[in-house]
């Protein structure tokens, strides 16, 4: 669990004194700021990170490598826009906002205060998305109207926001940059606000808690993640105001043309028919970080599995695919509910999409590209627990993708069922250059190739490695404890799982995680000083396994070849060096460390006597 950073109040106080211009007694020198903004816009258009660094205040350590458009796993990153965000009311602070359309579960827009130095106006320290300025969104009452002919979505939200003591006078909400705010009010009274792309600054009422009424709209085009087409529509990417992507409950009403069906997260509450449209209403009591709505001219098929109605909403009707989707989703829900904790909803659905290129967890349903049905469903169903029951913001790490990918593989291994868990240790070896770019603890952008490979691939294999050491039964007990000890309404991080493992398996198991989470390399295991001893009528292979200066934990398979066959053993390694002794009744001729590359490791860079993974054996005289 990751609460609002404890330094928030101190940050606000320091910002008001140093970074911000607190009131009109100090006039804003607009000419230098205008020049600064113009130069920033020019550097951004050129994707010049070095020039942006030159425009940063002395002593501020910001990185701007994100300004350079790289490869994204889905869609094409759009160009950054540079806008000025001036806070309304008495605070009078000014910021530079770097903003663009944001893909779901990806890196965020960037916000920098304008500070004044001896050399003129400069960019100050970036205000991380995790900095909430003392505000917290708790609930949404959303309405969405899809207008396919205009490719438009009309929206409103009654958003409940809490304010902590010492919070700044102005709340800064985030929303995807394609949405234009039309009005904001509270208790029927208009509130002053300013929008700069994906940032909305609102003068908050003088209260500890307030309901803000927002009206806004968007032209939804040019993306496979958010789309409004002639026969289907979906909103997936930050289409609601949020602060820090922290979990919140929500309800949503979706109005669609006659003949369409709509779905939102949670439980269905009502269906109202109008002359030319229909409104579907849903309520999600589970506080989650990501909301999704979908609609279209679906053919709906429903069947009961384990007492839960499972539905397939298909744009292209096909009874075989519908039955397959229902079977895969329903059976995996039953298995995960037995091993992780109760399923939190009364129904589940698989929603087919033509534009969506992959599959997206929506906790009570899955939005799934046609080719991914049913292959992706086990992974997405697992997200009901890893992201739904236990939320993740994607502002710090991708831990829940590691868990969903691992759960997919675990389920398929045990049940021989559908799944798309494609990561294995051999593939990890091929992806090593990507894995070296970022640690598992800091990979957080699901759309950036290296971070995605680490979060999905390395993370799931690290969990498989833990299962190999603990045993499947104890591993499942750790995962169930992770769910049980989670506080509803809050997000979680790797540390929360570490604490669950320590409770179930013992405190010493916290030692498993530091190397796997914090380092970007893999262990390089080597056999060392191996010899054969004869003890009576038996033989003993004696030696050690070393891993240099690293301290990764692994259960390492070794294969001993004898004059009559082979013998397999496993050795737990929990330090830089571990001694071993393996006895056999037959004469050993060779020992090989993990010859089938079953574990996460790096192959030795060189071979030599006493420093290899395969050793020919001779009896010690």
pLDDT on residue 604: 64
pLDDT tens for each residue of 81-98: 999 999 997 777 899 999
Average per-residue pLDDT for the chain: 91
Report whether pLDDT(135) > 60: yes
Report whether pLDDT(14) > 60: no
In angstroms, rounded to a whole number, what is the distance separating the alpha carbons of residues 600 and 257?
A: 52
Over residues 206-210, the mean pLDDT reads 96
Over residues 296-319, the mean pLDDT reads 98
Collapse the DSSP code of 192 into the 3-class scheme (helix H, G, I; strand E, B; otherwise coil) and give the result: coil
Report whether pLDDT(144) > 80: yes
Tokens of 191: 């509130």
- Is-cis flag, bond preceding 575, omega within 30? no
pLDDT tens for each residue of 344-353: 999 999 999 9
Per the CB < 8 A criterion, the answer to whether 360 and 238 are in contact is no
What is the CB neighbour count within 10 angstroms for residue 523? 24
Residue with tokens 């970074």: 19
- Assign 17 a pLDDT band (cuts: 50, 70, 90): very low
Measured between alpha carbons, how far apart are the two ends of the chain, in Å? 58
Q: What is the CA radius of gyration of the chain?
A: 28
Helix, strand, coil percentages, rounded to 5, for the chain: 25, 35, 40
Over residues 379-400, the mean pLDDT reads 98
Collapse the DSSP code of 357 into the 3-class scheme (helix H, G, I; strand E, B; otherwise coil) and give the result: coil
Residue with tokens 């990764």: 552
pLDDT on residue 75: 73
From residue 342, how far is each of 55, 334, 378, 385, 419 by CA, in Å? 53, 9, 16, 9, 21
pLDDT tens for each residue of 404-414: 999 999 999 99
């Amino acid at each position: 669990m990751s609460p609002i950073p404890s330094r928030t109040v101190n940050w606000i106080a320091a910002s008001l004194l140093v970074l911000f211009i607190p009131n009109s007694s100090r006039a804003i020198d607009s000419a230098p700021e205008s020049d600064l903004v113009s130069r920033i816009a020019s550097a951004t258009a050129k994707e010049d990170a070095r020039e942006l660094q030159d425009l940063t205040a002395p002593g501020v350590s910001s990185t701007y490598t994100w300004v350079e458009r790289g490869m994204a796993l889905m869609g094409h990153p759009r160009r950054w826009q540079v806008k000025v965000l001036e806070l309304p009311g008495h605070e009078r602070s000014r910021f530079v906002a770097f903003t663009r359309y944001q893909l779901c579960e990806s890196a965020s827009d960037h916000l920098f205060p304008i500070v004044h130095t001896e050399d003129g106006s400069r960019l100050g320290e970036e205000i991380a998305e995790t900095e909430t300025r003392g505000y917290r969104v708790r609930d949404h009452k959303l309405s969405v109207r899809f207008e396919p002919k205009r490719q438009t979505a009309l929206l409103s939200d009654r958003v409940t926001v809490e304010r902590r003591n010492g919070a700044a006078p102005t709340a800064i909400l985030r929303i995807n940059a394609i949405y234009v705010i039309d009005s904001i009010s509270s208790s029927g009274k208009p509130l002053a606000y300013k929008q700069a792309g994906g940032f909305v600054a609102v003068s908050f009422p003088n209260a500890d808690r307030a309901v803000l009424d927002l009206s806004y709209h968007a032209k939804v085009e040019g993306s496979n993640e958010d789309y409004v087409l002639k026969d289907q529509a979906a909103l997936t990417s930050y289409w609601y105001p949020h602060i820090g992507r922290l979990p919140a409950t929500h309800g949503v009403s979706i109005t669609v043309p006659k003949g369409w069906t709509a779905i939102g997260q949670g439980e269905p509450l009502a269906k109202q028919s109008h002359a030319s449209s229909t409104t579907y209403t849903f309520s999600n009591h589970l506080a989650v970080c990501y909301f999704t709505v979908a609609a279209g001219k679906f053919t709906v098929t429903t069947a009961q599995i384990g007492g839960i109605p499972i539905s397939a909403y298909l744009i292209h009707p096909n009874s075989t695919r519908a039955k397959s989707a229902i079977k895969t989703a329903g059976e995996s829900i039953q298995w995960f509910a037995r091993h992780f904790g109760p399923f939190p909803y009364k129904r589940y659905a698989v929603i087919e999409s033509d534009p969506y290129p992959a599959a997206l967890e929506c906790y009570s349903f899955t939005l799934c590209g046609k080719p991914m049905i049913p292959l992706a469903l086990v992974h997405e169903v697992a997200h009901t627990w890893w992201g739904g029951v236990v939320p993740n913001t994607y502002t710090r790490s991708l831990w829940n993708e590691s868990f969903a990918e691992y759960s997919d593989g675990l389920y398929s291994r045990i049940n021989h069922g559908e799944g798309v868990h494609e990561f294995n240790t051999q593939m990890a070896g091929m992806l090593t250059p990507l894995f070296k770019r970022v640690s598992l603890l800091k990979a957080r952008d699901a759309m950036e190739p290296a971070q995605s490979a680490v979060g999905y691939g390395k993370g799931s294999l690290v969990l498989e490695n833990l299962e190999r050491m603990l045993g499947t039964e104890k591993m499942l007990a750790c995962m169930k404890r992770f769910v049980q000890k989670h506080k509803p309404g809050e997000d979680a991080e790797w540390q929360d799982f570490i604490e669950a493992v320590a409770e179930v398996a013992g405190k010493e198991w916290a030692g498993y995680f530091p190397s796997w989470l914090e380092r970007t390399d893999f262990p390089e295991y080597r056999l060392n000083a191996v010899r054969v001893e004869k003890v009576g009528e038996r033989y003993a292979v004696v030696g050690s396994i070393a891993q240099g200066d690293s301290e990764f934990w692994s259960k390492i398979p070794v294969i001993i070849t004898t004059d009559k066959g082979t013998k397999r053993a496993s050795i737990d390694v929990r330090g830089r060096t571990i001694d071993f002794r393996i006895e056999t009744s037959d004469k050993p001729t060779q020992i090989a460390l993990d010859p089938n590359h079953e574990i996460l490791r790096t192959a030795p860079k060189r071979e030599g006597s006493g420093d290899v993974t395969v050793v020919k054996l001779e009896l010690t005289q």
